């Protein structure tokens, strides 16, 4: 990987870290899901509203390192208006990208910033930071789907890989 590409990735990540998207409170959220990454100390709350199978609005509040905050911000920018299946597909692509697995990145504006997370694979301890928002959202959506939005088991990247 060329160093200019590294610089570009770093710049995108720092931009999301400095001004995270999706911070606005979502008072009428259908689901609120908390997650944590004990190995780094990142904590996140992802709240969202659903209309049938479509995620209509999302709130992300992450207290953690630059990568966890940036990944949460990218998530907030990406998932609005998507269905549960879309979100799950995107999160699978992100996961594979981070782990350096073979994956086709869709030629889609959604992935313009997200592909900056590829730079994280050089730092294996940071992969959990980048996954935290995605794991927490998918868990929240699964909870919602199961109809048990109250069962408040916090997501954690420690066990959910
Ligand atoms: Zn972290």
Tokens 């910033």 belong to which residue? 113
H or E element, residue 115: none
Is the model's pLDDT at 147 over the cut of 60?
yes
Determine the Cα angle at 90 with ends 87 and 96, to 5°: 140
Distance 53 CA to ligand 1 centre (A): 31
Could you give the C-alpha distances from 120 to 13, 21, 131, 144, in angstroms and in order? 10, 20, 11, 30
Q: What pTM did the predictor assign?
A: 0.89
pLDDT of residue 160: 47
Is the model's pLDDT at 117 over the cut of 60?
yes
pLDDT of residue 5: 77
Range 3-146: architecture per CATH: Alpha-Beta Complex (3.90)
Report every protein residue that has its C-beta within 5 angstroms of ion ligand 1.
40, 42, 64-65, 68, 129
pLDDT of residue 155: 64
Q: Please state, in angstroms and rounded to a whole number, the distance separating the CA atoms of residues 62 and 20.
A: 9
Partners of 16 in the β-ladder: none
């Amino acid at each position: 990987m060329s160093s200019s590409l590294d610089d570009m990735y770093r710049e995108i990540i720092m931009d999301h870290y400095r001004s995270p998207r999706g911070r606005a409170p979502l008072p009428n959220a259908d689901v609120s899901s908390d997650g944590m990454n004990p190995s780094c100390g990142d904590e996140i709350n992802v709240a969202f509203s659903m209309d049938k199978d479509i995620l209509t609005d999302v709130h992300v509040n992450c207290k953690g390192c630059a990568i966890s905050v940036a990944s949460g911000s990218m998530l907030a920018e990406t998932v609005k208006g998507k269905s549960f299946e879309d979100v799950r597909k995107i999160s699978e692509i992100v996961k594979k990208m981070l782990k350096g697995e073979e994956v086709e990145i869709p030629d889609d504006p959604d992935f313009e910033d997200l592909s900056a997370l590829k730079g994280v694979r050089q730092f294996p301890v940071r992969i959990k930071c980048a996954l935290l928002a995605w794991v927490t959202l998918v868990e929240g959506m699964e909870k919602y789907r199961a109809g048990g939005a109250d069962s408040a088991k916090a997501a954690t990247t420690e066990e959910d890989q």
